[in-house]
A and B are shown apart, each in its own frame.
Chain A
Amino acid sequence: MHADLILPLTIVGIVTGSMYALGAMGIVVIYKTTRVLNFAHGAIGMISAFLAYQLGYLWSMNVGIAALSAIAFSALLGFSIERFTIRPLEGKAPLIKVVVTLGWLLIITSFAGIKWGASAYHVPIKLVPEGTVGLPGVHISYADLATLAVAGVLTAALATFFRLTRLGVAMRAVADDVSSARILGIRVDRVNSTAWILGSVLAAITGILLSPKVALDTYSLTLLVIFSFAAALYGGLVSLPKAFAAAMVLGVVQSVSSGFLHLAGLADLIALAVIIFALVQPGSALMRAVAKEGA
């Protein structure tokens, strides 16, 4: 491998990392507020991308309207999941709620498989015009740049939101102590709903932005979530900036290592290593979070 490949591979890795970061945002938003790890996150993004494809490609609607409709649908889906299947479990073990999201993973993936075909390839809608920007040794498409920009802006915006806005602070309060938050007059149900809507919208944005890059089938987008989990876990499932940084590092390490070693599944192996490291490192944020709630 040539040393001059390292720079282009790093740039590719940063783009890949920004995809993971986008996925991690929604996972963190939902966990940070409701203490539920949403296994259906990738599936929500996947079905939103499919809906955009149905409207924008099959029914030849305006691409922007198709994407907005799909995002509205994901908000409704997230709201329904929380309102009808998570809220009735209030006060029960966190693991029960997580198992419910596994159920939704199955429901959404198999529904999309029945509707659109599980293994068939579909033409994704493209929000960003085609074209590339020349960087040293590598050309980056506008779509990749947009992904990177959206991921960066959303991370900053969400981190600010949790720190500075009333609703954001209320969300953190609910996460810390539900009953105290309720006594202080925070409408816990509404906060939980908001978190799920926000998280699902983030999943939809991720799915629609990534579908031109990752194959639009029912599995690829759903499975991409494992890399986002790795990044989110590194931030203890609560820290957005840490998750963003971890996603970038994961993307770059995967990309650069693929230049040294051609091994199928190397990316997954690295993700597994990151997940395990994030979980067992002494004083990891997640260990503390998990110890606190006894999950």
Chain B
Amino acid sequence: MTASRQKLARLVAVAVAVAAAALLPLLLSQYRAFTACQVLVFATALMGLTLITGMLGQPSLMHAELMGFGGFMTGAMVANMGINFWLAVLLAVVAGYLVGSVVGLPALRIRGLALAVVTLAIARVFDALVFPLRWLSGGVGGRSVERPTIPGLNLGSDRVYYEVLLVAFLVVLAVVLSVKRGRIGRVFGAIRETDWGSASSGVPLTRYKLLGFSLSAAIAALAGALGAGLDGSVTTQTYPWTKSVTLLAILTVMGSSSVWSPLFAAIFVVLSPAGLEHLPPLPQLFSKEQIVQFVPLISGVSLVLVMIFTPQGLVPTIGARLRKLTSRNRSRDDVPGTPGGPASPMEPGEAVGTPTHERVGGRA
């Protein structure tokens, strides 16, 4: 196959995938459409988390708080200033970007596990100091956020609102992909491997680290803002502090270096509570409130297991296996003389598997 035909084939595949995703709500009931919307909200937010955890190699324990911040900002601006929902979302994203620049400041001097403690402390400050502010959260009851409108579209239907969320998700996906594959992504990779090394070869560390944190926070705020529109409200209970740990855990389980992990992680986070509720014998033995707790429990157990057995995460591991399998079949078809012979050392599957065995979230 020539390069241009390969490119065309890839383009067609992407178009088919996007069309399938866009048409998905037609197959779903009203209830399932709401679930699909939730998946998109969390997938978008987790995209932001891959930026700092996967690409910059900094574990963040405050991502759910940043989502909550986006939701509260949107609700507060609509309620206090009477502005349009979409303008409020835009301003919330800008605010998220600025907050990201501020909370990213410690990262200029601190990295690794010490930075994880800092993000945990920042999360506490959000929970204990920022969210209780009356202007922001409207008090203990939280904020109600009315579903936004677009003339001519019935956004009140979850099936239609889904399309809005899909557009947001695809835009964020495109941004993250272009960051990852472009110049910034290569710089991020250099910083992840050795930040003093990259600084000494002329990388402006400050600018790139802050950019990573700001983008990540802006994406989380966007997801939180659109999620508030989806749920119709945002309260301090929407994003309890364990959510941040769960999000980081499940993204790491899936493998934070892959751009596909956020989607799988979001599917797990959103679908597993409902799935567990119907999984015998759980409903007979436990109350609903207890079953919700099984999600962090399972995340924790799988996190420990994944760290021991395949630290780069499930998606890259399984992806490498699959690629190995298909390329082996292909070589069997192409070259009859070597049936299932040893895979060449330059195979893509190998390249993912070997040198990365010490990575958490893509960081050695």
Q: Which residues of A contact B (CB under 8 A)?
A: 37, 39, 85, 88-89, 92-100, 102-111, 113-114, 117-118, 219, 223, 226, 229-230, 233, 263-269, 271-272, 275-276, 279-280, 286-287, 290, 295
Contact = CB atoms under 8 A, between A and B. Distances in A.
Nearest to A267: B128
A102 to B, nearest CB: 6
Given A104-B300, A106-B296, A110-B293, A279 B125 contact: no
12 contacts: A92-B358, A97-B307, A103-B303, A110-B297, A110-B300, A223-B241, A265-B128, A265-B132, A279-B106, A286-B114, A290-B111, A295-B113
Interface in B286-317: 286, 289-290, 293-297, 299-301, 303-304, 307-308, 311
Main secondary structure of the interface of B (DSSP, over half): helix
Given A268-B128, A290-B112, A295-B113, A103 B59 contact: no
Nearest to B112: A295
B348 to A, nearest CB: 24
A103 B297 contact: no
Given A265-B124, A295-B111, 15 more contacts: A92-B358, A95-B363, A103-B299, A103-B307, A105-B245, A106-B296, A106-B303, A110-B296, A113-B290, A265-B125, A265-B128, A275-B121, A279-B109, A280-B106, A290-B112
Contacts of A95: 59, 112-113, 360, 363
Contacts of B299: 103, 106
Pick the 6 closest A-B CB pairs, nearest first.
A265-B129, A106-B300, A265-B128, A103-B303, A107-B300, A110-B297
Contacts of A269: 125, 129
Interface stretch (B77-85, B164-172, B246-254): B246-254
B117 interface: yes
Given A100-B307, A107-B304, A272 B122 contact: yes
Contact of B304 (A37, A85, A110, A118): A85
A280 B128 CA distance: 24
Interface of B: 59, 106, 109-114, 116-118, 120-122, 124-125, 127-130, 132, 241-242, 245-246, 248-249, 252, 286, 289-290, 293-297, 299-301, 303-304, 307-308, 311, 358-361, 363-364
A271 B360 contact: no
Given A104-B300, A233-B117, A279-B118, A226 B124 contact: yes
A102 B303 contact: yes
Contacts of B114: 233, 279, 286, 290
A109 B242 contact: yes
A51 to B, nearest CB: 18
A295 B57 CA distance: 11
B293 A114 contact: yes
B110 A279 contact: yes
Nearest to B248: A102
A127 B190 CA distance: 54
B129 A268 contact: yes
Contact of A223 (B112, B124, B246, B308): B124
A155 B260 CA distance: 48
A88 B308 contact: yes
A114 B290 CA distance: 5
A102 B286 contact: no
Which interface residue of A109, A110, A113 has the most chain B CB atoms within 10 A? Answer: A110
Given A98-B113, A109-B296, A268 B106 contact: no
Contacts of B249: 102-103, 106
Contacts of A104: 300, 304
A141 to B, nearest CB: 25
A295 B290 CA distance: 37
A233 B294 CA distance: 32
A102 B252 CA distance: 11
A117 B289 CA distance: 8
A100 B110 contact: no
A269 B358 CA distance: 35
Contact of A263 (B127, B129, B241, B296): B129
B53 to A, nearest CB: 10
A114 B294 contact: yes
A92 B117 CA distance: 20
Contacts of B246: 106
Nearest to B130: A265
Contact of B125 (A39, A94, A96, A268): A268
A264 B128 contact: yes
Given A110-B296, A268-B128, A272-B125, A103 B301 contact: yes
Contacts of B289: 117-118
Contacts of B128: 264-265, 267-268
Given A100-B304, A107-B297, A233-B117, A272 B242 contact: no
A166 to B, nearest CB: 29
Contacts of A93: 358-360, 363-364
A266 B129 CA distance: 7
Nearest to B309: A88
B196 to A, nearest CB: 9
A233 to B, nearest CB: 7
Given A85-B308, A111-B297, A114-B290, A98 B116 contact: yes
Contacts of B297: 106-107, 110-111, 114
A280 B125 contact: no
A109 B120 CA distance: 16
A268 B121 CA distance: 7
B27 to A, nearest CB: 33
Contacts of A266: 129
A96 B360 CA distance: 6
B300 A105 contact: yes
A25 to B, nearest CB: 17
A287 to B, nearest CB: 8
A111 B295 CA distance: 11
Contacts of A290: 111-112, 114
B57 to A, nearest CB: 8
B300 A89 contact: no
